[in-house]
Every structure is written in C-alpha cells, then in structure tokens.
Amino acid sequence: MTTIDPAAVFRQEAAELFEVLEAALLDLGQNPDDRELVDSAFRALHTIKGSGAMFGFDKVASFTHEFETAFERVRKGEIKPTQDLVSVALAAKDFIRALIETPDDTDAIIGEAILADLSRFVSPTEAVEAPVSSPVSALAPVSERRQVGWHLRFEFDSQILRNGSNPLDLLDDLSKLGSCFAMPLTDGIPFLDELVPEDCYLKWDVSLHSDCDKAAIDDVFMFVQDEMTLALEPLFEGESARPVPVLELPDISIVPPEPPQSADEARSAPQAAAAPLPTERRSGEPRRAEDRGIATVRVQAERLDELMDRVGELVIAQARLTQLAASGNDISIKLIAEEIERLASSLRDTTMGARMVPIGSLFGRFRRLVHDLSRDLGKPVEFITIGEDTELDKTMIECLADPLVHLIRNAIDHGIESPSARVAAGKPEQGRIELAAQHCGAQVLVTVKDNGGGLNTARIRAKAEEQGLIAPGASASDQEIHQFLFHPGFSTAQTVSALSGRGVGMDVVKRTIENMRGSIDLSTVPGDGTTVTLRLPLTLAIIEGLLIRVGSGRYIIPLSAVEECVELTAEDERSRSRNFLNVRGNLVPFLRLREILEADGEPDQHQKTIIISTGETRVGLVADQIIGNHQTVIKSLSKLHSDVTIFSGATILGDGTAALILDVVQLVGLAQARSEKQMSEAA
C-alpha cells in the first residue's frame, strides 16, 4: 500500500499556486488597474499561507502573512502596483518557494530584507478610517478610539450547500474567536414557488467582539473563499449595539429581522439588512455549476511512463500475433488478431493522449525570465505567446525547457538592441519576443522570433575563420555560416558577462533537439530580427514508421519525415557519378543506403527511393524494398553505440528481430555534404 506524504502533497499544490501567483504579478505590471489580478494573487497567497500552517510549514505561513499585510494597500486600491513593486513581490514569491523546497538553506535575513522593500514601496499608514454612519465618529478621532472587534458582512454562492459546506459551521468557528452576534439578511429569499431547497439565499451581518487579527478571520473562511463575498471592517468601541438576540446557538446569537406585513411590503419595504454589501473585499466570483469543469485525478508522472512502457510491449506482442495469424489459415485466430490490433491501437492512442500536455504550461515559465532579463539589461521587451493550447508529450515538454531558455536569453541579450539604438534605427523603443507553437502534420513547430537587429553574418564568418572552422575565402552560403552558431564554444560576444560570452548554450540547444529527433531552422533579416524554428515529433514513445529493407536488414524511417516514394529509374541507377533525382523538375540529392550501411548481396532489380524532408531540405533514400507502415515502439541504443550517428534508436518487429531507426536529420546532413562536394568538384 502506497503511503501519501502530506508534505509532498503541499509542495505539489504550492507549485501550482506559485504559477498562478507569478502570472498574476507579471500581468499586474502590465495592467495595474485590473482588480481581478489583485484578487487572484491574494487568493493564491492566502491558500499558501493556510495550507502551510496546516501542514506544519510555520515559517511559510508567517512570511506569507507578512507578505499579505505589506501588500494590503494594493488590495484596497490605495496604490497601484508599479514595476518595482512587482519585482519585489516576485522576489517574495521566490523566497516562499525556497522556504518550502529548501528550508534549511534559506536565510531569514533575505526574507526580512524583502519585507522591508515591500513596506518601503507600499508605504503603509497606521490610521484606519471609521465608517461614515458611526455615531462615534463625531465624538473622537479615529486614532483615539479603541477597536473592540470586527464587523463582517458576507454572502455565499448559492451552490455552497450542495458542495458540502454549512454556513452555520462557519458561524460557529467565528464564535470561537470571541463573542459573536449574527443577523441573517433575508432580502434575497424568493417566494416559495420559486425557491430551490438546495440553494443558499441568506446573507449575514455579524459583529465579532474579539482582539483577533484579520488573518484569524480569513482562516475561518479559508476553504470557501472562492464561493463567497466578504466585507470586513474594524468594529470600534460604541458601535457594538445590535438587536437583542432571540435565538441562542452555542456562542452565537441569530437575530431574524422583523418580517413585513404583506407580500407587497416584502418586495418594496426597505430593510436595514438589505443595504448593498461593501466591495472592500471580494475573494472570488461565485462559480456556476457549468463552469466547474470535468473531474480530474492526479497521477504521478512515473506511472504514466510505466503505462506507456506496458503499452509499447503490448504493441510489440500484437505485431507478433498479427504476423503469426497471417501465416496460418485459421479464420478465428485471424479475427482475434484483428480485434486485439484494434484494441491495442485504441489503448495506444488513449495512453498517448493522457501524456499530452498543453505547451502553454511551459510557455508560462518564460514570462518571468523575460521580465528579469528586460530589467537587468535595461531593454524593455514585450513578450507574446501564441498557440498555448498546442499539445505535446509531457516528456517533450520537459526536454524543451532548457533549449528555449537559451534561445530566449540569446534573443534578448544579442538580438534586441538597446533602446537608444532602436530609436536611432527608427524602431519602437520596446523590443518584442514572440514564442509560438503550432501543429504541422505529425510534428510540432516551436518558434522563437525577435524584432532585433538580426544576425551579423560577417562577424560570424570572421569568428569561424578565427577558430579554424572555415578556410579564409572559402565559399559558403549565409545559412551555412549561421550554423556555426551551434558549434561548441562558438560566441561572437565582445565581452563575457553573466548571461553570455562563453560560447555555451546554442550547442546544447542543437544537441538536445537532435536527441529528441527534431531539427532546427534559423532565418534572419538584417535589421529586422531572427526566427529560430524547432521541428519536433509529437512524442518520443511510439511513432508511425515506414519499414524498409536494405540487403538482408530491415530499417525504420519515421513516417512524419516521409513525403513520397518513387522508383529509382534505370538511368539514375547507371549514373554513379551524380546522385541527383529529377522529381517533377526539381533536383533532389539521394543516398544509396546499401553503400552507407555496407549491405551484402546484390541490389534488387527495381529499387525504391523514399523522399524525406527536414524543413525546406529534401533528400532521397534508396532502398531495396518498401515493406509498409509499422507501429514503432522506440528503444534507446546502448552507450556502446553512441558514436553511430545515423541511427536514433531501435524497435522490435513482429517476428522478434530488431530493426534500427534511421536518423533523418543526420542522413539529410550527410546528403547535403556529399552534394556540395560534387558541385564544388564539378566547378
């Protein structure tokens, strides 16, 4: 039986709340008047504080409470959140995360400094303004009056009873803080024929005589904050008069208002209790039933990985069963094999769907990165994301994080010019980074685009010549020169800084993307920016492949890279000096896989050419036979085969033998190198 660690549950919940808090704070920097963002940030803070106290993270609860207190004037609308204030609030969020994840390594002095900065920016005042209707306000200034408790007015979502919450239990919890007088407000109750028994129509006016602080009251409503509206005001001495209670509950007095004399009076007579509720605090809009979403269940990522492995083994076993059934004459076995194939295919799609995650969960992480880099480098940058709903395998999402960090940092550090340089070039002072994702067949395209100065091809070439990567004066296209940026240790930065200059980063990007069986396209327009496009498969677990034969060996080509299949003509076969196909008027270089793989025996009489592509580049692969489509469960190669670059993995066929998966990117690069060599020799 698996034991659940409460602290681990809290950390997982807190991680999600940190994302909400960070997103709200970053949006506040752009939209300081948006009250919904302020409420969202406070809801996240309050939940972290309450859950932290519940699970024994006392330092988290204490610091978060101080964070809330310092941010109180923002919530009240007395000050607007500036960029400096948002930056300090983000630092406070980071400190809370550190208190949760590495409490022993977190210095309290840092937290004190952050709170001091928060207090300095919000400049809190001590005076509290009394309600205008108070008879005491004319007798003594606020600073001389003694607070004796709190005055609360609150209204619940009509669905709260159906959700298992009981307002009387909450009133009982309030009474434990001190002497409590509660009056139900009945102006919202409909006539009997319109009344829904499961709905809550009452509002409440409560006087609480207690020396407790506001946080203690917030804790009472901790778990229903999203299902209620709460207005909270200090209760001063002399304001505590309330009607005499007529119904006693434990420590609670509930006083019903005097009923009207008729139905008409019920609709028209004004009631003191029916006064509009103040909007000083609104902890969340009531949620409609249709907005509650579909029920979800948390599943550990390791279990999804294990399930995917089992499905992969099932697909292999199903392929063996299909092959055995095809070799016999038993109709019943063939029918069972077809049914199992259908069920295995459905299970595979369902399992892969469960692993798919919207890429927006990854894109949201980079808003903070852009915010901090923009501040540190003194370059105002607008960050735009497109296609957040595009889904990708969770493993791909995890692998993409580091490459995108490097690309975005380079775009801001190297691509976006300084504000003065942009103004001199006739551009807006604010730069722009665009991060986008979209499906393209069986691939996902992720692009990082900036509107900076573009790549300096001459400087890149000079650096490449300096490092001996290209001979001085050698002919090379701009695209080939730009590829030197992905060479280990290559950098055109004039100085080494904390962000760049050591030549580390872009080579890591290329290596990671190629390990994911993807490719990188890079395009630039001088003076108008650079676009980096990552082409990625949807998943790393199971792919559709094209099974081919070369000699006596069988190989898999990812079907997403296959454009078409054509027959190798006799003329192409006789011409050994040139390796180009004429495909509808376009010359396409091709590779003879028999030569590359050193296949034994004689080639088939009618060889086939599979046209593959990565980006805009097309290459033909000549094979002896095209066997057909094959569901490919990818198995990684061992470390002993790490130097074999033209294979990206292996799979098990239906007869139990292995087939190697060809690396399309490496083969395309090999074909390009050979064709360029032939062209240079011909010239």
Residue ranges of domains in the chain: 6-122, 143-260+270-284, 301-355, 359-537, 542-682
H-helix segments, 123-195: 167-175
User: For the chain, what is the mean pLDDT?
Assistant: 78
Mean pLDDT along residues 482-500 = 68
% of the chain exceeding 90 in pLDDT: 10
Q: Which of 104-118, 204-218, 251-265, 593-607 has the lowest mean pLDDT?
A: 251-265
| Nearest partner of 391 among 446, 346, 430, judged by Cα | 446
Residue 3 has a pLDDT of 58
Q: How far apart are CA 540 and CA 300, in angstroms?
A: 19
Q: How far apart are CA 137 and CA 141, in angstroms?
A: 7
Residue 293 has a pLDDT of 47
Residue 38 has a pLDDT of 85
Residue 250 has a pLDDT of 40
The CATH classification of domain 301-355, taken from the options 1.10.340.30, 3.90.110.10, 3.40.50.300, 1.10.287.560: 1.10.287.560
* Cβ(89)–Cβ(24) below 8 Å: no
% of the chain exceeding 70 in pLDDT: 81
Residue 442 has a pLDDT of 63
Strand 431-440 versus strand 381-386 pairing type: parallel
H-helix segments, 31-107: 35-54, 58-70, 72-75, 83-101
Q: Which of 73-82, 174-183, 411-420, 637-646 has the lowest mean pLDDT?
A: 637-646
Which tops the pLDDT comparison, 236 or 407? 407
The angle subtended at Cα 436 by Cα 433 and Cα 437, nearest 5°, is 160
Residues 576-607 pLDDT 10s = 556 788 888 788 888 888 888 888 888 888 88
- Per CATH, 6-122 and 542-682 having the same topology is answered no
Cα distances (Å, whole numbers) of residue 596 to 332, 437, 550, 559, 676? 44, 36, 10, 21, 18
Instruction: Determine the 3-state secondary structure of 156 from DSSP.
Output: strand
Residues 387-446 pLDDT 10s = 988 888 888 888 888 889 889 988 998 889 999 999 999 999 999 999 999 887 667 889
Q: Which of 136-140, 395-399, 572-576 has the lowest mean pLDDT?
A: 136-140
Structure tokens at 326: 């095809």
Q: How far apart are CA 370 and CA 410, in angstroms?
A: 11
Mean pLDDT along residues 209-216 = 86
Residue 272 has a pLDDT of 36
Mean pLDDT along residues 333-358 = 87
Which tops the pLDDT comparison, 310 or 616? 310
* Cβ(508)–Cβ(591) below 8 Å: no
Q: How far apart are CA 611 and CA 228, in angstroms?
A: 62
Q: How far apart are CA 449 and CA 452, in angstroms?
A: 9
CATH architecture under which domain 6-122 falls: Up-down Bundle (1.20)
Residue 231 has a pLDDT of 86
Residue 433 has a pLDDT of 94
- Top CATH class of 542-682 equals mainly beta
H-helix segments, 192-299: 214-220, 263-268
E-strand stretches of 329-417 = 356-358, 381-386, 391-393
Residue 4 has a pLDDT of 60
Residue 500 has a pLDDT of 52
Residues 654-682 pLDDT 10s = 777 888 888 887 787 777 777 767 666 66
Q: Which residues lie closer than 8 Å to 194 by C-beta, 6 or more apart?
A: none
Residues 529-572 pLDDT 10s = 999 999 887 766 677 889 999 988 999 998 888 889 988 877 76
pTM above 0.85, yes or no: no
339: confidence class by pLDDT, cuts 50, 70, 90: very high
385: confidence class by pLDDT, cuts 50, 70, 90: very high
Q: Is the pLDDT of residue 154 over 60?
A: yes
* Cβ(574)–Cβ(568) below 8 Å: no
The CATH classification of domain 359-537, taken from the options 3.40.50.2000, 2.115.10.20, 2.60.40.10, 3.30.565.10: 3.30.565.10
Q: Report which residue type is found at 101.
A: E
Q: Which residues lie closer than 8 Å to 86 by C-beta, 6 or more apart?
A: 25, 26, 28, 29
Q: Is the pLDDT of residue 126 over 80?
A: no
299: confidence class by pLDDT, cuts 50, 70, 90: confident
Residue with tokens 């990985």: 305
Buried (b) or exposed (e) across 261-278, using 16+ Cβ within 10 A? Answer: eeeeeeeeeeeebeeebe
Longest dimension (CA), the chain: 110
Q: Which residues lie closer than 8 Å to 521 by C-beta, 6 or more apart?
A: 532, 533, 535, 615, 616
473: confidence class by pLDDT, cuts 50, 70, 90: confident
Residue 62 has a pLDDT of 84
Structure tokens at 41: 């940030």
- CA 405 to the chain's CA centroid: 13
- The catalytic residue positions are 46, 68, 410
CA neighbours closer than 13 Å in the CB half-sphere of residue 69: 15
